[in-house]
Chain A
Amino acid sequence: MDWLTTVDHKKIGILYLIAGGFFFLVGGLEALLIRIQLWKPLNDFVSADTYNELITMHGTTMIFLAAMPMLFALMNAVVPLQIGARDVAFPFVNALGFWTFFFGAVLLNVSWFTSTGAPAAGWTAYAPLSGPAFSTGHGMDYYVLGLQIAGIGTLIGGINFLVTIINMRAPGMTFMRMPMFTWASFITSALILFAFPALAVGLAALMFDRIFDANFFDPNNGGNAVLWEHIFWIFGHPEVYILILPAFGVISEVISTFSRKRLFGYSSMVFATILIGFLGFMVWAHHMFTTGLGPVANALFSIATMLIAVPTGIKIFNWIFTMWGGSIKFTSANLYAVGFIPTFVMGGVTGVMLAAAPADFQYHDTYFVVAHFHYVIVGGLILGIFSGLHYWWPKMFGRILNETLGKWTFWIFYIGFHLTFFIQHFLGLLGMPRRIWTYLDGLGFNEMNLISTIGAIMMGIGTIMFILNVVITNAKPQNAADDPWEDGRTLEWTIPSPPPEYNFKQTPLVRGYDAYWKEKMDGHKGMTPAEPIGSIHMPSPSILPFTMSLGLFITGFGLMYSRDWTFITEHIGFYVAGLGLLITFGSMFLRSVYDDHGFHIEPEELEDKGVKA
């Protein structure tokens, strides 16, 4: 019950981690089934329909239900601590964001258990394939409504982090003293704010097409299928940077800490991050070169895409220069961070190849593309998340993950990853198309697909080892020091692990970049407080975020079956949808009418430990 009503950012971070981790396993299982199907030619392990469902759900799950929540987990756990805040700006909204994500994710996955099956039009849901004419049954309805509900959570989460970072920094924490992870979270949140509403409109239009017979994307009724591609990718390309920027932030923190050096070129890192965020919105049509937009559009989007390599290159070199001459400690967290650099560079290089429009006509829809984006997303984002989890685990849970097991996990996962995806570049160049259920013998695809499948199984073993590590660590006593790596540079390492409910007994005074490190170098034991010890105002827990999201879940369900359910009267689904909306709006009304005054923690109570998990 405590976990259903919590508004504490650290607990919400843990909730995001558990839910996101669960869907990472689901998405990983889907990936393994895909790889088992492709391990030999003319395999019939799964049917063609099931295969389409698997690739659709694998992409959707990994991007929206695994990667983003795990990033939100790290952002929730760390950002308020890094800027010296007691909580996020809107704790209630933070909880609401988690629960809408959770119920959206559950709704999407319920589709597996229905008679018409999961969505099967690809994670990009290209119209008119995703429209009512081609995707009969309810699979795509689950996609549209599940993502819509989950998207609300992401959007309000993004706004929350923006306000938190702008308004709630500790005294002295200027923008140009903010840790890189906080900066990356800030830019990511801005991208969420400007990208997700476009997706919301696209999904709403597709829902109207599917449920209310609108004509947005149906060419027979004057609709325009390319319109869907534009709307999807004006969201979808920034989404790539929404995913990768926080990973960049993690890498910056980890490499700097374990090299015992200030991050090289901090201000250029900040501006590179901003520039990447900006250019992320200028390049969406490179996904559509082969749609036939014409040479002018292709040339412009081609150049804009290649431009992103410049700020990314700045970041890569700064990480290398940070390590240069540092006294590097290869902890598990740092192994992931160092392993990230060459992997991400390889993903970036194939990105530039794909950005050349004429070359893209060759690569398009082959395994070369699959290899490219898995190098970026798994080799970039997932390694970044693993790095961040190992790095901040003691801060989140008060226990250090087992280092030996962590290093084994890294090597198995890392080798498995390269085995899976490096070879797919060549499969693509040989002409193996993506999104196909099986392939013929004698095309030269057999051995490479087998190697790729073996690599995928290794990644699965690595993931299981990580879970094992979590279980083993969880059985140990909660005894991590405040600064367990002993080289912590930022504010989160100045408070106990795990932090108490109120984070900082006294708001710290920040006197420079790498605030804690600066105090250490000046010979101080801890931060200078910026305020006397006093009573601390805390928000009260609330069940309303849960009920609001539950209402949306019921609404989504009702809308989908608005035409099927007739057992009492016609259109019973609409009544169910109405009931759901009533629950949601009723909860919103209650929230607005009853002011939440919260409670105070008095100075004499300031001793208890907060998060337990």
Chain B
Amino acid sequence: MSTHSHADGHLPHEPEKATLEGRNKVLGFWLFLGGETVLFGTLFSAFLALRHQVLDGPQPSELFKLSLVAAATAILLTSSLTSVFAIQALHNHNVKALINWLIVTVVLGLGFLGLEIYEFYHYVHEGHGFTTSAFSSSFYTLVGFHGAHVAFGIFWISSIIGQLMKKGLTVVTAPKVYVAGMYWHFIDVVWVFIFTVVYLMGKVV
């Protein structure tokens, strides 16, 4: 609704970096993602150290259904693309397109999360519970941490959509959108590694 009052001329091209607060947020978030990288790096290390300890539980090669995981991957990677479209709309000061692309991103995120919940449910029925083996504990911890990040991102972007609808695009809301976009890309990159290290390597070795 406040789209017009903030149309071109009032907002700079990159409103997320227009104020010191905005620049601080973006830089601080880059650093936060550095810390997150270490966090996931440690989780990956733990998984790699424990992934052959399956005990009585199922082997990863008989457990994983690559078609399901491939579908989830496609959905999540597409959501990264739609979040790029959202940031482009942000730079064009097109609030309507921005909100729409963010909604598409959230819907795709929900789709991914739904598939993951189905996947976990399926695995538990195959005898692959959290406490079954060291492999299963580290699997659910790594993939579950990622899933929790996706869930958090969905809540976060949804609340930003609400703010955009109420307050429009300003130098206060723009850094929030931008930073949430960075977060969403980070989740996607982590998933690429999970897809490779957990699922593909699990199928091969």
Q: Which A residues are within 8 Å of any B CB, using their own CB?
A: 89-90, 155, 159-160, 162-163, 166-168, 193-198, 200-202, 204-205, 208-209, 212-216, 218, 221-224, 227, 230-231, 234, 589, 592-593, 595
Smallest Cβ-Cβ distance to A226: which chain B residue: B49
User: When A214-B137, A221-B133, A593-B159 are in contact, do A201 and B31 touch as well, CB less than 8 Å?
Assistant: no
At the interface, yes or no: B114 with Cβ under 8 Å from chain A? no
Max chain B CB contacts within 10 Å: which of A198, A222, A224? Answer: A222
- Set A166, A167, A213, A231: member contacting B46, Cβ < 8 A: A231
CB contacts (< 8 Å) of A208 on chain B: these are 137, 141
User: When A202-B42, A214-B141 are in contact, do A224 and B31 touch as well, CB less than 8 Å?
Assistant: no
The CA of A57 and the CA of B45, in the complex, are separated in Å by 29
Residue-by-residue, is B131-152 near A (CB-CB < 8 Å gives 1, otherwise 0)? 1011111100100000000000
CB contacts (< 8 Å) of A214 on chain B: these are 130-131, 137, 141
Task: Say whether B24 contacts A193, CB under 8 Å.
Answer: no
Task: Say whether B137 contacts A216, CB under 8 Å.
Answer: yes
Task: Say whether A216 contacts B46, CB under 8 Å.
Answer: yes
Residue-by-residue, is B28-66 near A (CB-CB < 8 Å gives 1, otherwise 0)? 100110111011011101100110011100000000000
User: When A224-B49, A227-B49 are in contact, do A215 and B131 touch as well, CB less than 8 Å?
Assistant: yes
The CA of A97 and the CA of B111, in the complex, are separated in Å by 35
Could you list 12 examples of A-B contacts with CB < 8 Å? A167-B23, A193-B31, A197-B35, A197-B39, A201-B46, A204-B141, A214-B131, A214-B137, A223-B53, A223-B137, A231-B45, A593-B159
Smallest Cβ-Cβ distance to A228: which chain B residue: B46
With A208-B141, A224-B50 given, can you name 19 additional A-B contacts, CB distance below 8 Å?
A: A159-B28, A159-B32, A168-B24, A194-B34, A198-B38, A198-B39, A201-B42, A209-B137, A212-B131, A216-B134, A216-B138, A221-B134, A222-B54, A222-B133, A227-B46, A227-B49, A227-B50, A230-B45, A592-B163
CB of B161 to closest CB in A, whole Å:
12
At the interface, yes or no: B1 with Cβ under 8 Å from chain A? no
Task: Say whether A224 contacts B134, CB under 8 Å.
Answer: yes
At the interface, yes or no: B197 with Cβ under 8 Å from chain A? no
- Set B42, B141, B162: member contacting A231, Cβ < 8 A: B42
User: When A205-B46, A223-B53, A227-B46 are in contact, do A212 and B130 touch as well, CB less than 8 Å?
Assistant: yes
Residue-by-residue, is B97-140 near A (CB-CB < 8 Å gives 1, otherwise 0)? 00000000000000000000000000000000011011111100
User: When A193-B31, A589-B159 are in contact, do A223 and B131 touch as well, CB less than 8 Å?
Assistant: no
At the interface, yes or no: B172 with Cβ under 8 Å from chain A? yes
CB contacts (< 8 Å) of B20 on chain A: these are 167-168
Give the number of A-B contacts (CB < 8 Å).
111
Task: Say whether A223 contacts B38, CB under 8 Å.
Answer: no
CB contacts (< 8 Å) of B137 on chain A: these are 208-209, 214-216, 223
Closest 9 CB pairs of A and B: A222-B53, A222-B134, A214-B137, A197-B39, A201-B42, A197-B38, A89-B24, A215-B134, A213-B131
Q: Which B residues are within 8 Å of any A CB, using their own CB?
A: 20, 23-24, 27-28, 31-32, 34-36, 38-39, 41-43, 45-46, 49-50, 53-55, 130-131, 133-138, 141, 159, 162-163, 167, 172, 176
Task: Say whether B130 contacts A197, CB under 8 Å.
Answer: no
CB contacts (< 8 Å) of B131 on chain A: these are 212-215
CB contacts (< 8 Å) of A193 on chain B: these are 31, 34-35, 38
The CA of A208 and the CA of B31, in the complex, are separated in Å by 27
The binding surface of chain B is classed by DSSP as helix
CB contacts (< 8 Å) of B138 on chain A: these are 216
CB of B51 to closest CB in A, whole Å:
10
Task: Say whether A90 contacts B28, CB under 8 Å.
Answer: yes
Smallest Cβ-Cβ distance to A162: which chain B residue: B31
CB contacts (< 8 Å) of A89 on chain B: these are 24, 28
CB contacts (< 8 Å) of A227 on chain B: these are 46, 49-50
CB contacts (< 8 Å) of B34 on chain A: these are 193-194
Task: Say whether A221 contacts B46, CB under 8 Å.
Answer: no
Task: Say whether A163 contacts B28, CB under 8 Å.
Answer: yes
CB of B65 to closest CB in A, whole Å:
24
CB contacts (< 8 Å) of A194 on chain B: these are 34-35, 38
CB of A160 to closest CB in B, whole Å:
7
The CA of A264 and the CA of B138, in the complex, are separated in Å by 51
CB of A466 to closest CB in B, whole Å:
35
CB of A328 to closest CB in B, whole Å:
40
CB contacts (< 8 Å) of A198 on chain B: these are 38-39, 41-42
Task: Say whether A205 contacts B135, CB under 8 Å.
Answer: no
User: When A204-B141, A222-B135, A224-B49 are in contact, do A167 and B27 touch as well, CB less than 8 Å?
Assistant: yes
The CA of A508 and the CA of B138, in the complex, are separated in Å by 53
Task: Say whether A166 contacts B50, CB under 8 Å.
Answer: no
CB contacts (< 8 Å) of A167 on chain B: these are 20, 23-24, 27
User: When A89-B24, A231-B42, A589-B159 are in contact, do A221 and B55 touch as well, CB less than 8 Å?
Assistant: yes
Task: Say whether B31 contacts A159, CB under 8 Å.
Answer: yes
Task: Say whether A163 contacts B53, CB under 8 Å.
Answer: no
CB contacts (< 8 Å) of A213 on chain B: these are 130-131
CB of B97 to closest CB in A, whole Å:
23
Smallest Cβ-Cβ distance to A164: which chain B residue: B24
The CA of A227 and the CA of B45, in the complex, are separated in Å by 9
CB contacts (< 8 Å) of A201 on chain B: these are 39, 42-43, 46
CB contacts (< 8 Å) of A195 on chain B: these are 38
Smallest Cβ-Cβ distance to B54: which chain A residue: A222
The CA of A89 and the CA of B25, in the complex, are separated in Å by 8
The CA of A216 and the CA of B48, in the complex, are separated in Å by 12
Smallest Cβ-Cβ distance to A200: which chain B residue: B39
Max chain A CB contacts within 10 Å: which of B23, B43, B138? Answer: B138
The CA of A212 and the CA of B159, in the complex, are separated in Å by 32
Task: Say whether B24 contacts A90, CB under 8 Å.
Answer: yes
Task: Say whether A160 contacts B28, CB under 8 Å.
Answer: yes
CB of B154 to closest CB in A, whole Å:
13
CB of A219 to closest CB in B, whole Å:
9
- Set A160, A163, A166, A196: member contacting B35, Cβ < 8 A: A196
CB of A83 to closest CB in B, whole Å:
14
- Set A212, A215, A230: member contacting B133, Cβ < 8 A: A215
The CA of A230 and the CA of B36, in the complex, are separated in Å by 18
The CA of A216 and the CA of B130, in the complex, are separated in Å by 11
The CA of A174 and the CA of B176, in the complex, are separated in Å by 29
Max chain A CB contacts within 10 Å: which of B31, B45, B133, B163? Answer: B31
The CA of A595 and the CA of B138, in the complex, are separated in Å by 39
The CA of A589 and the CA of B162, in the complex, are separated in Å by 12
CB contacts (< 8 Å) of A230 on chain B: these are 45
CB contacts (< 8 Å) of B133 on chain A: these are 215, 221-222
CB contacts (< 8 Å) of B36 on chain A: these are 197
The CA of A595 and the CA of B22, in the complex, are separated in Å by 13
The CA of A193 and the CA of B31, in the complex, are separated in Å by 8
Smallest Cβ-Cβ distance to B176: which chain A residue: A592
